[in-house]
Chains A and B, each alone.
Chain A
Amino acid sequence: MKIVEENLGLLSNDEVLAVLKDREADKQPVISRATPSEIQAYTGLLAQCGGSYKEREQLAAFIKAVEPFGLTKSEIVQLINHRPPSVVEIFLCIEDCEERFEEAQIEELLQLIQQHLATS
């Protein structure tokens, strides 16, 4: 085995869920094509996401909306994975949050998360 390219890109939990669903990990183990480990990963991740995941277009809209904040890729993926509902959690996802952003900006960011990523 050879690793051709170690890291082609980061995937958020939502994207992994979409891939797993394509692999039929959302079905019952008896009729599914997916392996038990895939089904386990799907159920585990779905529970973390609160029962439903966002499509690529919805994620793209969110990424475009947070562009002016100048966040790194991994920070954006963490925001998508955790959907921080409050300031404390946003501080955990973004490094040096206090120095980089003002309170109003953090509020705005929280609103964008609510608007784009809230599980309905």
Chain B
Amino acid sequence: MFILSQLEDTVRIAPQDLGKPAEMAITTAIERTFLDKVIAGLGLVVTLYDILSIGDGYVYHSDGGAHYKVSFRVVVFRPFTDELLVGKVHRMTRDGLHVDLGFFRDVLIPPHGLPEPSYWHEDDEAWLWRVEGQDLFFERGLPLRFKVQSVRFHAVPTLAEQQAQKEEGVPVLGTEERPFVPMEVMGRADGDGLGMVHWYAADGEDMAE
């Protein structure tokens, strides 16, 4: 679910942008700094809602830019525990299902969050749920209904940490083989009405017949 948050930040306007109207230059600067970024402990900033106030522009010695204290509101995506969400399955691995919400892709449904009993199908590289002797597959590219279990924020890896990982020989966080994820949503799809959306649509048709 989305929330509205009020933030305050000091925005620096570079000398070459001082000729532009202050509002416009500041809006651009805020967009660049905050949009599509995760604020730790808050969530993913989706868009700028409005600018509440712009303070006086301060100029410091040895810096040609003007510094404005700006108060503004942003729309933040922050799922809460037990919230119902629908997203498309975009990847399946032994670690679980990776779900894409359209604007946020770091959602994981771990194996223990899948309906019991679920199995990993090696040949098809897919998860399946065995229900009443029938195999129901989780399918890529189709919508999945799930509930949020937890939201985790990860701190940006420091150079020292990356160096240590390199020496240990484990994949370095923040590289291609182990991408850094600032906000991770864990979900579960075990329960009435949860799981692939098309499972339930098919059931409904059967009942109607």
Q: Which residues of A contact B (CB under 8 A)?
A: 1-13, 15-16, 19-20, 23, 25, 34-35, 37-38, 40-41, 43-45, 47-48, 74, 77-78, 81-82, 86, 88-89, 91-93, 95
Contacts and interface: CB of A to CB of B under 8 A. Distances in A.
A11 B3 contact: yes
Interface in B61-119: 71, 73, 75, 80, 82-84, 86, 101-103
Contacts of A19: 47, 49, 75
Give 9 nearest A-B pairs by CB, closest first: A44-B102, A37-B36, A41-B103, A11-B2, A5-B6, A8-B4, A4-B6, A88-B193, A1-B9
A11 B4 contact: yes
Interface in B4-62: 4-9, 31, 35-36, 39, 42, 46-49
Given A3-B5, A7-B3, A92 B102 contact: no
8 contacts: A3-B39, A8-B3, A12-B1, A13-B2, A40-B103, A48-B86, A89-B193, A92-B147
Contacts of B31: 35
Contacts of A37: 35-36, 46, 103
A26 B145 CA distance: 26
Interface of B: 1-9, 31, 35-36, 39, 42, 46-49, 71, 73, 75, 80, 82-84, 86, 101-103, 145, 147, 191-194, 200, 204
Given A5-B5, A8-B4, 19 more contacts: A5-B6, A6-B5, A7-B4, A8-B6, A8-B73, A9-B3, A12-B1, A12-B2, A16-B46, A19-B75, A37-B36, A37-B103, A41-B103, A47-B102, A89-B193, A91-B193, A92-B147, A92-B192, A92-B193
